[in-house]
Structure 1
Amino acid sequence: MDVRAQWVNTTDQQRLYVKIWGNEQKPALILVHGYPDNQDVWERVIPYLVDDFFVITYDVRGAGQSSIPKRVSDYRLAQLSSDLDSVAQVVLAGRSFHLVAHDWGSIQSWESVTEAKFRGRILSYSTISGPCLDHAAYWMRAQFKHEKPQFFKQLTKSWYIAAFQLPFLAPTAWRFFSPERWGKVVAQLERTADLPLNTNIAKDGKHGVGLYRANFIPCLLKPRERFAVCPVQAIVLKYDQFVSPALIDEMPKWVEHFSRVEVDANHWAVLSKPQKIAELITAFIQHPPQSDDKVADN
């Protein structure tokens, strides 16, 4: 595949490394990666999308080849949303676009998907393993009151979030992960051999911890009412070791046109089942939901 690369400057003087695939005349599609990944995590999915879309990916601040902020506060959701805006303005010159995100990319993208200024600009959103932190906070409060077993089940899955609040432990721990060692972890979770390695894993893991430290506690303590400005598809990975599918139950309260599909996969389905993920993305964009809360098994 032909790929073009460029740099985009952010509103706070960071630099984001952007890659572009396909025909500019096609509908625009921005893909946002999660943690501890960089934009290369999408490269198995893109071949199944590039015939239909003008595809844009970028390294989130602190990941891949993008610049690394010095302060934890530089990773706040509002700034991450501004980064998406900067990429869209520079690459698309104001054109509307579809949005897809995985893991932390999904979490941060909710900030844009629920922001009034993106109404009419974000045409659709497919979220994979990343709830809105505000929605999650409301869900957790309700579960603690009425469904404590479900609350503690998610808490068990999210043990790493508490560890990431420690300023030295989490960044130091990533020094022990070589690309090969981390690759074995992902391959074991996905039950799939020969997955591509993240050669930047130690740096991506170390610096990306700022995403958690800047946002989780403020959002969980003071959640905001955040309503989506576009149709949303939740791609639910039934065997996800980090995000409980039950968290998706909160989404229809905040999304007017909502669709839910389930996939027999673990957390990194973008690596282990790229064709299936691409098919779901394409189908949602080309045939948006006519009614709420569709559920399908794949």
Structure 2
Amino acid sequence: MTELSRRLVETTDGLRLAVYEQGPADAETVVLVHGYPDNHSVWDGAAAALAARFHVVAYDVRGTGESEAPDSTAGYRLAQLSDDFRSVIDAVSPDAPVHVAAHDWGSIQTWESVTSPSLSSRISSYTSISGPDLGMATTWLRERGHARSSLRQLAHSWYVFAFQLPLLPEAMVRSGVLSRFVGGRPRPERDQVNGVELYRANFLGKLVRPEPRSTDVPVQVLAPRDDAYVTVPLQTEAPKAYASSLVTKAIDGGHWVVEKSPDLVADEIAAFIEGAGAR
């Protein structure tokens, strides 16, 4: 397989996810997971670069792009998102573990799989960009010794609390306020509205009971220096106590570095996969 192809994968709760593949079918598989308010296309540039060497898979997370959406907030909980990831990799790489790279909410949800005792053996390496594990992040924010960094991160995260409110986020989307806040290319209104449920389904529970889990999967954290939403200290320091094989690196760029600098991101992912960090 060298050209882009599309298939539908059914989830454990009966939804269909749109999954896109390119690159040689017999090469190692790299799965790319997008965040909010994007769909799989945010990875297009990096996916094309990686497809010269890898079997590259990207998919529209539930509620976005060409994938179906659940009919309740509960359908966006982390455990279900992890089940979706399992369904995808079972379909595209049933007999071999995969490498994963994820951005923003894609990264947050992928930590759930990377730290899952029943799923981590299916993952050979993980590159996280601009999306910390919620349990690790909450624990780090509560620790003493870096109060200034914690307060700075909370200031960056004001929208997380706004998204818990009824009606307001949807009004922000439909008025165009959220698009102006996010910046960059236009995003479909459907993706923006549905994605708010990710915040409602998961954040408050993790704030009350963070319960971070550990992992032995080789992890690379790429932290954009000019990220407007996730600070470098949170990205690089929060996982230290939980990832036994961790590499962290600050890179040039803002929050949407995966789209703005796809070759840089692809090179960093490929180097980590091919280096000693990946098993």
> TM-score, normalising length from structure 1?
0.89
Contact 2:132–2:238, Cα closer than 8 Å, also in 1: no
Asked if residue 102 in structure 1 is aligned to residue 89 in structure 2, the reply is no
Residues 3/184 of structure 1: CA separation in 2 closer, same or farther (3 Å cut): farther
Match of 1:236 in 2: 223
Match of 2:205 in 1: 218
Match of 1:191 in 2: none
Structure 2 spans left out of the alignment, 5+ residues:
none
Contact 2:31–2:58, Cα closer than 8 Å, also in 1: yes
Question: 1:1-298 alignment to 2 at 5 Å?
Answer: 2-142=3-143, 145-177=144-176, 182=179, 186-187=183-184, 197-200=185-188, 202-247=189-234, 248-289=236-277
Residue 98 of structure 1: SS of its match in structure 2? strand
**CA distance in 1: counterparts of 2:186 and 2:58, whole angstroms:** 16
Q: CA RMSD in A?
A: 1.8
Q: Deviations over 1:129-166 (max 9, x none)?
A: 00000000110110xx4433222211110000001001
Residues 149/47 of structure 1: CA separation in 2 closer, same or farther (3 Å cut): same
**CA distance in 1: counterparts of 2:224 and 2:217, whole angstroms:** 22
**CA distance in 1: counterparts of 2:160 and 2:230, whole angstroms:** 12
Residue 117 of structure 1: SS of its match in structure 2? coil
Contact 2:111–2:132, Cα closer than 8 Å, also in 1: yes
Residue 43 of structure 1: SS of its match in structure 2? helix
Letter in 2 for 1:105: G
Match of 1:293 in 2: none
Q: Deviations over 1:111-140 (max 9, x none)?
A: 000001123310000000000000001101
In the TM superposition, residue 289 of structure 1 has moved relative to its aligned partner by: 3.1
In the TM superposition, residue 177 of structure 1 has moved relative to its aligned partner by: 3.0
Residues 49/216 of structure 1: CA separation in 2 closer, same or farther (3 Å cut): same
Letter in 2 for 1:176: S
In the TM superposition, residue 4 of structure 1 has moved relative to its aligned partner by: 0.6
Letter in 1 for 2:164: Q
Letter in 1 for 2:137: A
**CA distance in 1: counterparts of 2:88 and 2:267, whole angstroms:** 25
Contact 1:231–1:288, Cα closer than 8 Å, also in 2: no
**CA distance in 2: counterparts of 1:227 and 1:267, whole angstroms:** 26
Letter in 2 for 1:40: S
In the TM superposition, residue 254 of structure 1 has moved relative to its aligned partner by: 0.6
Percent pairwise identity: 39
Runs of 4+ aligned structure 1 residues displaced above 4 Å come to none
Residues 249/199 of structure 1: CA separation in 2 closer, same or farther (3 Å cut): closer
Letter in 2 for 1:274: P
Contact 2:38–2:191, Cα closer than 8 Å, also in 1: yes
In the TM superposition, residue 92 of structure 1 has moved relative to its aligned partner by: 1.6
Residues 111/184 of structure 1: CA separation in 2 closer, same or farther (3 Å cut): closer
In the TM superposition, residue 185 of structure 1 has moved relative to its aligned partner by: 5.1
In the TM superposition, residue 283 of structure 1 has moved relative to its aligned partner by: 0.2
In the TM superposition, residue 260 of structure 1 has moved relative to its aligned partner by: 1.0
Q: Which moved more, 1:218-227 or 1:49-58?
A: 218-227
